[in-house]
Amino acid sequence: MMTTIERSVPKPVFTDAEAGTKEFPDSGSRHFNYFVPQKRKQSHYEDVTVEVQPDPRHYLSQGWLYGFADGTGGYPLEWTRLKAWGSDRPVPERGPGSGGRGYDWPAHGWHEFRDPNEEWELTLYRYNANVVRQLNQNVEAARRSKAFEQWNRNWVQFVAQHVGAWMHVDHGLGLYLFANANRRAPTNMHNTAISVNSMHRIRAAQDLALYNLTLTEEVEGFDGTAHLATWDEDPAWQGVREVAEQLTGVWDWCEAVFAANVVFEPLVGELFRSNLVQQAAPANGDFVTPTLIGAEEFDFSERDLRYTTALFRPLVDDREFAEHNRELMRQWLADWVPKCVTAARTLQPLWSQPDAKPPRFEDGLDRAKSRFSGILSDLGLAEPKELAQ
**Percent of residues, the chain, with pLDDT higher than 70:** 90
Please compute the mean of the pLDDT values over residues 163-180 and round it to a whole number: 97
Q: What is the pLDDT of residues 100-125, one digit of tens each?
A: 555 777 888 999 999 999 999 999 99
The CA-to-CA distance between both ends of the chain, in Å, stands at: 113
Cα dihedral 250, 255, 259, 260 in deg (nearest 10): 70
Cα pseudo-dihedral 114, 120, 266, 351, rounded to 10: -170
Rounded (10°) CA dihedral 244, 249, 254, 255 = -60
pLDDT at 41 over 90: no
Please list, residue by residue across 305-326, b when 16 or more beta carbons sit within 10 angstroms of its beta carbon and e when fewer do.
bebbbbbbebbbebeebbeebb
The answer to whether 68 and 183 have CB atoms below 8 angstroms apart is no
Q: What is the 3-state secondary structure (H, E, C) of the chain?
A: CCCCCCCCCCCCCCCCCCCCCCCCCCCCCCCCCCCCCCCCCCCHHHHHHCCCCCCCCCCCCCCCCCECCCCCECCCHHHCCCCCCCCCCCCCCCCCCCCCCCCCCCCCHHHHCCCCCCCCHHHHHHHHHHHHHHHHHHHHHHHHCCHHHHCCHHHHHHHHHHHHHHHHHHHHHHHHHHHHHHHHCCCHHHHHHHHHHHHHHHHHHHHHHHHHHHHHHHCCCCCCCHHHHHHHHCHHHHHHHHHHHHHHCCCCHHHHHHHHHHHHHHHHHHHHHHHHHHHHCHHHCCCCHHHHHHHHHHHHHHHHHHHHHHHHHHHHCCCCCHHHHHHHHHHHHHHHHHHHHHHHHHCHHHHHCCCCCCCCHHHHHHHHHHHHHHHHHHHCCCCCHHHHC
What residues have CB less than 8 Å from 106, skipping those under 6 apart? 35, 36, 58, 86, 112
* Percent above pLDDT 90 for the chain: 73
pLDDT band, very low/low/confident/very high, at 19 (cuts 50, 70, 90): low
* Mean predicted lDDT score pLDDT of the chain: 90
- Residue 375: name the closest of 323, 329, 343, 331 by CA: 329
Using 50, 70 and 90 to split pLDDT, how confident is the model at 99?
Answer: very low
pLDDT score at 142: 95
**Other CB atoms within 10 Å distance of the CB of residue 352:** 9
Query: How would residue 20 be classed by pLDDT, with cut points 50, 70 and 90?
Result: low
Q: How many residues in total does the chain contain?
A: 389
Nearest Cα neighbor of 192 from 284, 120, 254 is 120
Of residues 90 and 280, which shows the higher confidence score?
Answer: 280
Mean pLDDT of the 129-142 span: 96
Whole-Å CA distances, 40 to 30, 44, 300, 382: 16, 13, 29, 34
Predicted local confidence at residue 62, as pLDDT:
72
Of residues 103 and 207, which shows the higher confidence score?
207
Above 60 in pLDDT, residue 98? no
